[in-house]
Amino acid sequence: MAESVRRELNRRQRLERIMERDGAQCVWCGRDLGGLVEATTEHMVPRIKGGPSWIENEVAACRRCNGQRGHLTPAEWLDECERRGWSVRRELVLATLEGLRAAIAQRGGQRRARPYIDSQIRRISRR
């Protein structure tokens, strides 16, 4: 899909595409999204850390997890979710980071995000 088309998608459309791509479960706690559990889009690499507003950088999360993550890195929040006994979708977190790294390599730019992504992939892959 062309980048200009991605930019034209509103938040609801992006969330629908993300849930089609990844499934309708929160990436952090594994709860089914929709119905009683409100789904949100969450940037895997926060924009403050150089993460782009691309669909490759977004995952579906429940409002609780999205809000509680705050400024924790994906690896830090993944550890916390596992400590809480939640069903973290570790493989999806890693695949999203790797997909984002590939998208950045293809499109260029995002210089600030590159070392952040690499460090998160290394940290999550160690387990």
Provide the residue range defining the domain that includes 52. Answer: 3-125
68: domain CATH number?
A: 1.10.30.50
One digit per residue, pLDDT tens: the chain, 127 residues?
444 445 578 889 999 999 999 999 999 999 999 889 999 999 999 999 999 989 999 999 999 999 999 999 999 999 999 999 999 999 999 999 999 999 999 999 999 999 999 999 999 998 7
Number of domain units in the chain = 1
Long-range contacts of 54-59 (CB under 8 A, 24+ apart): 54/3, 54/6, 54/100, 54/103, 55/6, 55/9, 55/14, 55/17, 55/18, 56/96, 56/99, 56/100, 56/103, 57/96, 57/100, 58/14, 58/18, 59/18, 59/22, 59/27, 59/92, 59/93, 59/96
